[in-house]
Chains A and B, each alone.
Chain A
Amino acid sequence: MKVFAAIRSNWRILLLVVLLFASAYFLFVPGAPIAGPGADGDGGNASAGSTNVQYGIELAGGARISAPAHGYIATDLGELPDDAAPIQQAVAEATNVSETDVVTSSDLGGREGFPSSGAVEVRGNVSRDAFERGLENAGLSPDDASIREGVSSYSLDLMVEVLDSRLGESGLGGGSVTSVQSPQSERDQVRIEAPGRSLGELEALVAPRGQVEIVAHYPDPDGEGAQREVLLTQEDFNAGTVDNPDGGSPFVPVTVTQSAADEMTNFMQDSGFAAQGAGSVCEGLEPRDDEYCILTRVDNETVYSSGITPGLADNFQTGEFRQTRYFQVQTPDVATAQSLLIDMRAGALPTTLDFGDSQQFLISPALAEDFRQNSLLTGIVAVIAVVVMVFARYGNPRVAIPMAATALSEVVILLGFAAAIGWPLELSHVAGFIAVIGTGVDDLIIIADEIQAQSEAKSRRVFQKRFRKAFWVIGAAALTTIVAMSPLAILNLGQLRGFAIITILGVIIGVAVSRPAYGSILRRLTTEGQGS
């Protein structure tokens, strides 16, 4: 019973201690169950050696690009026909994109994030005028529709997915891709972060559409000139890993899906490509009209052209390809092969990013390291200043030492919380921590003064009464701070958001746990002081 009574009278202190231990566990114990990229233990993320705290790119170094997607979407166009091909054709022609870059709710209406009816979206860097003209040509009335720049959230999610897997495939560990809705721009933005990379590298990775096509180039059987036929796109096969044989060009081996293999075999037989092209030699990226070539094309640009080997041609002729389904995508060099492989695995982007309207951020790992250490140091010096002031004012270490310790404990708990949920820390959070210490010490001074006022708090009842009085002020001030900060926690204001969230969390932890605990500590210490 004695233990129980002790717990009851000191529950505030106990709660603080429990939270501190939990934070210490999440902060320092390797292998603690933390969330986020650091949990995977991959080398690329910015987890900081001795602790489980993860740093965002501002404190770890890296690049960030936020950019909207190219395109326009028209909604409220009324009922669209079930077969939207004529609309796609008209819009594609007016805007000079390929027909597959025009999508409508006839096809995508059932997908999440795409308007269920009356919507046409063009994906690509096109003008609003051209889009409207295209809609008119398709017999739709753009004047009654609402047209906005950007793409549907369905397409945006697709972009996020593709870019995310591109980042993963390229070995940029710890990166992240998110879509950001912001009132600052009409279009939603895609935000891409990559620790330890330069802006140039990141841009090169995310800028291309990444559309891989295998194209047959052959003389027109009915006359002059050459014909081209798309044999495969990256949806039609599973890619292996890059192979770089001696004396040959690097290639990516792929396994073609059954339906694509059938179609490809039929084409090779019917067009006479396999029969007449066997053993052909193709040199140069712009083959002559009379050559039989297999072209590897990325984003409508030929990166490699080669003839068809007699063995493969034979495979097509006999139809054996339907069983083997093995094909080699040829490339000029290993680097191209690697980037091709990334595109094959991640898929093509539905549209490109508009870098003209982008926000870019880069910090070198060295500078970030400076920021990390120096902001920590700055914080420590600021805390020392607080401690000196508190000592100067109260002179009594029994008051001052717990005060400094309590204020710091709030930061430790916040850090533990951040580590536990895998929240990457940025510079603005450091400013938030300093704000938390600031308001924390203010509150602790109020508690100390109230409890010590006039005479020492002798009985439990007097203590409780004074504590409640102090708490009214603290609670009121905390409420005001939370209300003042909450718009910023919601609005998309970059740095301000992190700052506001940390401040609000700190105030809540402070008022709920640590500041009351300080009251209890102070009571124990001062009454003990009287007894002795």
Chain B
Amino acid sequence: MRQFDVPEPDYDRYTNRQLVAIPLVILLLAVLVVGANVLLIGAPAPLGIEFTGGTELTVDTSASSGEVQSAFDSQPESIQSVEGEDDRYIVTFGPDAGSASELQQQAEGSLEPSQGDDLIQGVNSFDATFAENTQQLALLGVVFAFIGMSVIAFALFRVFVPSVAIVISAFSDIMIPLAVMGLIGFELTLGTVAALLMLIGYSVDSDILLNNHVLRRGTGGDFYDDVYQAMKTGVTMTLTSLAAMATMAVVAFFFGIDLLVTIGAILVIGLIADLMNTYMMNVTLLRWYRFEGVKR
């Protein structure tokens, strides 16, 4: 009852240039978007309060979103209603809106709690200087993680092109979701950083598998056979993860668990990018290496 099989692509119909063009153009676009964001707003994507400072209140109130808006002395940055919870709002303030306790008092002073419930359900407040340093620390963490991954990639294969292929692919797998986040205004939080790091892991998984099948197994067989063997396993892996993450994102969205929504959504975008990068860019780089690069 085998229900699906990974189709075998006709790689020989396309030249290396044709195959590599699409992932490279998309990577270039992603880098442009991320670069533009860094220039315009000083970050690859809009930053959440963990990185800018500010306060997030979760309130259960019978008031309308307009009333919630006017309940505070300073204008909230955003008011978000929660899917599946009618009376729940997540109100976000910038770092200048006052302390967490002031905002709680303002809310308690002017909003009616919904029936039999506490008004303030959640508070999350970050000091601005602390948050700014968190930002640098998170950047540092991602950079170190990336460098560590690159070192391992080189140590494992000890040949330039295939190792570089792993590194470029992982870079692209991170850049594309970042660019998408920047475009749709998805905020960068600690949760998204976690998701981007998970992507490094997933990305490297499928790349190592591919490189291993082509370079190390030494069957001496046909290049395309080797690639197809790796693909059958690799695509199954990625699709399984994709299914899990997409489900998690959708379910968590209805429950209003932001952390899991962000992680799921980023991974879905990143895993799709990884399919493209692994089986268009990496395969091509390996093909070049196998048929032309080795001769040099």
In the complex, the answer to whether B251 meets A381 with C-beta atoms within 8 Å is: yes
Nearest-CB residue, chain B, relative to A374? B255
User: Are A395 and B2 within 8 A (Cβ)?
Assistant: yes
Contact of A355 among B99, B134, B243, B248 (CB under 8 A): B99
Q: Point out the residues of chain A lying under 8 angstroms from B252, CB to CB.
A: 374-375, 378
Min Cβ gap B146→A in Å is 8
Q: Which of B19-27, B39-47, B180-188, B256-264 contacts A (4 or more CB under 8 A)?
A: B256-264
User: Is A485's CB under 8 angstroms from B197's CB?
Assistant: yes
The count of residues in chain A whose C-beta lies closer than 8 Å to any C-beta of chain B is 80
Q: Kindly state the separation between the CA atoms of A4 and B289 in the bound complex, as whole angstroms.
A: 50
Identify the closest chain B residue to A386 (Cβ).
B244
- Complex: chain A residue closest to B85, CB-CB: A370
Q: Report chain B residues within 8 Å CB of A480.
A: 148-149, 152-153, 200-201, 204, 208
- Name the contact of A185 in the complex, choosing from B133, B152, B198, B216 (C-beta under 8 A): B133
Asked whether A314 is an interface residue with its Cβ less than 8 Å from the other chain, the reply is no
Q: Report the minimal beta-carbon distance from B145 to chain A, rounded to whole angstroms.
A: 4
Which of A427, A439, A487 counts the most B-chain CB atoms under 10 A from its CB?
A487
The CA of A375 and the CA of B124, in the complex, are separated in Å by 19
Q: Tell me whether B241 and A441 are in contact (CB under 8 A).
A: yes
Chain B residues within an 8 Å CB radius of A485? 145, 197, 201
Interface size for B (C-beta < 8 A) is 75
**Are B118 and A366 touching (Cβ within 8 A)?**
yes
Q: How far is the CA of A427 from the CA of B141 in the complex (A)?
A: 20
Contact (Cβ within 8 A) B127 A363: no
Q: Answer whether A439 and B121 are a contact pair too, CB < 8 Å, given A357-B129, A492-B137.
A: no
Instruction: Write out, one digit per residue, whether chain A residues 194-235 have a CB within 8 A of any chain B CB (1) or not (0).
Output: 000011100100000000000000000000000000000000
Residue pair A479, B152 in contact (C-beta under 8 Å): yes
**Could you tell me the distance in whole angstroms from the C-beta of A191 to the nearest C-beta in chain B?**
12
How long is the Cα–Cα vector from A390 to B239 in the complex, in angstroms? 10
- Name B189-244 residues within 8 Å CB distance of A: 190-191, 193-194, 197-198, 200-202, 204-205, 208-209, 212, 216-217, 229, 232-233, 236-237, 239-241, 243-244
Cβ of A449 under 8 Å from chain B: yes
Scan residues 467-504 of chain A and give those whose CB is less than 8 A from a CB of chain B.
469, 472-473, 476-477, 479-481, 483-488, 491-496, 499-500, 503
Stretch of A24-32, A326-334, A430-438, A514-522 with 4 or more beta carbons under 8 angstroms from chain B: A430-438
Q: For the complex formed, measure the closest distance between the CB of B45 and the CB atoms of chain A, giving whole angstroms.
A: 17
Supposing A485-B197, A491-B140 touch, asked if A386 and B240 sit within 8 A by C-beta, the answer is: yes
Q: Given the complex of chains A and B, what is the CA–CA distance between A371 and B118 in angstroms?
A: 16
Task: Please give, as numbers and ranges, the residues of chain B lying within 8 Å of A7 by CB-CB distance.
Answer: none
Q: Are B191 and A495 in contact (CB under 8 A)?
A: yes
Q: Does A445 contact B (CB under 8 A)?
A: yes
Residues of B within 8 A of A203 (CB): 101
CB atoms of B201 and A377 under 8 A apart: no
| Residue pair B121, A367 in contact (C-beta under 8 Å) | yes
Q: Which of A389-421 contact B (CB under 8 A)?
A: 389-395
Q: Known interface pairs A389-B239, A446-B209. Does A438 touch B2 (Cβ–Cβ under 8 Å)?
A: no
- CB-CB nearest in chain B for A488: B141
Also in contact, A442 and B137, with CB within 8 A (given A483-B152, A487-B148)? no
List the interface of chain A (C-beta within 8 A of B): 182-185, 198-200, 203, 355-364, 366-367, 370-371, 374-375, 377-379, 381-386, 388-395, 427-428, 430-431, 434-435, 437-439, 441-442, 445-446, 449-450, 453, 469, 472-473, 476-477, 479-481, 483-488, 491-496, 499-500, 503
Residue positions of B touching A, CB distance < 8 A: 1-4, 50, 58, 99-101, 104, 117-118, 120-127, 129-130, 133-134, 137-138, 140-141, 144-146, 148-149, 151-153, 156, 190-191, 193-194, 197-198, 200-202, 204-205, 208-209, 212, 216-217, 229, 232-233, 236-237, 239-241, 243-248, 251-252, 255-257, 259-260, 263
Q: A182-B133, A359-B127, A361-B124 given; name 14 further pairs at CB < 8 Å.
A: A185-B127, A200-B101, A381-B251, A382-B247, A395-B1, A427-B259, A434-B244, A438-B198, A453-B229, A472-B212, A480-B208, A487-B145, A494-B190, A495-B194
